[in-house]
Every structure is written in C-alpha cells, then in structure tokens.
Amino acid sequence: MAPLLNQAAHGGDVFAAAAELGCDPEQILDFSASINPLGPPETVLAAARQALSSCQFYPELVADSLRAALARYHRLPEDCLLPGAGSTELLYLWPRVFRPRRALQIVPAFSEYLRALDQVDCEVERLPWLPGEPFPTTDLPRAVGDCELLVFANPGNPAGGLVRRRDLLATLDLLPDDLPVLVDEAFIDFVPGESLIDQVVERSNLYVLRSMTKFYAIPGLRVGYLAGPADGITRLLGEKEPWTLSTPALAAALACLDEDDFARASIAAISAWRDEMGEELSRLGLEVFPGAANYLLVRLRAGGSSAFDVSAGLRRQGILVRDCGNFDGLGGDVLRLAVRRPEENRRLIAELQRLLDNHGREE
C-alpha cells in the first residue's frame, strides 16, 4: 500500500519552512522543487492577472481553448490531448478509468505514481534504473510479464537520467503492442527534440504526461496535459471532473505557448548553470550523477553527514533541498538539488561546504 500523503514526500515546502523560521516565503531559497529560476515570464503573469477580471464566471468546462492551442503547438489532433490541473490530476485519472490490475514502475520514481495506482488496488512491480546506470532496456520485456501498465519518467526523477528518443522508441518496439505505456515527460522541455509526444498518433498504447509547472515556473497555477490515442483520451475525458482548470491558470497556460524566446533562453542558461553547479559540487567531494534536466542528484561523502542531517542544517539557514531517502533504490546519503541562478547556487555550495566541514571537524 502507498504511504499517506505527507509533506516529506515532496519538495517545495516553502510556506511551512517560512512559518517555521519566522520569515517571508520569498526569503526561502528553494532547491527542493525543480522549478525554472528564469520564470515565470511576465507575459504569463500578466495573462493570469487579467483573467481574474472574469472570476465571476465559471471557467471552461474542459479547457477547450487550451486543448486547441496544444493541438496547434504539437501538431496533433485535438482529440489526442487532455488538459488538467497539473499532470498529477491526470496521473490519478488514468488508473481510475483503465483500472490496471498489475503495473511495472521503473524506480526510483515520483511517489505519486504508487499512490495513483494504489487507489485502484493495482499490484506494482518495480524495475530499477539506478542513478548513473543505463536505462534497463534488456530487462524490460521480461519484467513487464503480465502487467497492464508500464510507467516511468524521462528524464528520470529524481535521478535526471535521459533516454534518447531514438533509443526509447527502439525499446518500446520490444514490448507488447497492447501494453499501455505512460511516460512522464514533466521535465522534457529542458531537453528539446527528445519528446515522444508526436508518437501518440502512431502508437495506440502510448500516453505522454506533460507539465507546464516546471519549465514555465507556475506550480501555484497547476497546469498540465496528457497526450494519447484518441479513443483512450475520449474515455478519460468522459470521466474527468469538470472545471478543474481555473480561468487564470488557463490564461497563463495559453500565454506560455507563445514564449519561444523564453524557452530558448531557459534551455541554454539551465544547461550552462547545471554544468557549473555540478563541477562545484564535485569539488566538495560529492558524487554528482549525470542529469539532463534542471536538477542534479548527488551522493554525500561516504561515512559523512546523512542527507537528513544536511537537509535539516540547510533548512535552518533558509535553504531547502530534497532528501531522497524515501525514494525506492536510494539510500540516506542522496540529495536532489534544483539548478537555480548562479548567485543562488553559490550560496548553496558555500552552506554545503560549511556543513560538511563542520561534520569533519566533529569526527
């Protein structure tokens, strides 16, 4: 059975941390939630503010305007797309509608996969994709067995590893055509050209989850979408709750799709800042795993401070990081760190060095 929801299961605990430390939320430096530090774009904020003038009306029943805009953006039929209040809403909807009895999850993974499947008493098998290791292509055909769903993220979360599009398509070709595959591409916008979203027209078993939260930095507005075969999306739409996207969220999402310059600038900046941050973390003696998105997974020094102790020490300084001790396959010495602006990354590095040095002197 999946664990009950608790704050420790996720990053982004800014409001609770601010209350605990007696400061404003804006004073918290959050490396625990992997949100684009360049966003949100001002045009997106302006669109959301303007939409508040229509708050006396119900929002669109099923976000038809966004559905149409996404169809143009991805060059897909509208009936292959389903917007929702964040990709997590759609992640929970899929099992409720299709009710798989047995699923294979590639781990470590986002904790909500397990909770979403647990709501329909789905038995979950696990296949490891450990940090720094290749994707388990050769093990997949055997591991899926009689499963009725395969679910995983690309890039991986929390590890950040990427399976290149061509390799992933070749891997999917090894699997049964009738096995539903749900690929969570929440961070794929940071890796242009690697998405499988166009394949949902060709592959009747493929579903692709997308998030607008991370790349456009609007987690408080909750916008995501699911792409899949038209017949499957129609079934999901028929059982989805109405009005789940607020009018400001809808307006913001539509504005995001026009932000090509922001997207290009973000991809270039995050890639450079991630490399620089990784080099600095390595100099501290940490093991830094290769990552393709806007976060890095690191392993602390052997025999040194635990991830719990380091995250607690940083929290006292108003810095949040993600202790990965509750992820399948990861121990108590692993942290996930979002990539932020260089000056913010330098502050994190300095505080990390202080904590690690203090621990060394105490031994």
**pLDDT of 294-311, one tens digit each?**
999 999 987 788 999 999
Question: Is 326 inside a domain boundary?
Answer: yes
Tell which of 257, 283, 305 closes a domain.
257
Mean pLDDT to the nearest integer, 256-276: 98
Question: Is 3 inside a domain boundary?
Answer: no
DSSP 163: -
**pLDDT of 121-131, one tens digit each?**
999 999 999 99
Verify that 185 and 205 share a domain, yes or no: yes
Verify that 126 and 210 share a domain, yes or no: yes
Verify that 208 and 344 share a domain, yes or no: no
* Under 8 Å between Cβ of 133 and 107: no
Nearest to 109 by CA among 93, 134, 129: 129
**pLDDT of 134-154, one tens digit each?**
999 999 999 999 999 999 999
For residue 284, what is the domain's CATH number?
3.90.1150.10
Q: Residue 103 sits in which domain range?
A: 42-257
Tell which of 233, 257, 281 closes a domain.
257
pLDDT band at 195 (very low <50, low <70, confident <90, very high): very high
- Provide the number of structural domains found in the chain: 2
Mean pLDDT to the nearest integer, 190-199: 98
* Helix, strand, coil % over all residues of the chain, rounded to 5: 45, 15, 40
**pLDDT of 296-353, one tens digit each?**
999 998 778 899 999 999 999 999 999 998 898 888 999 999 999 999 999 999 999 9
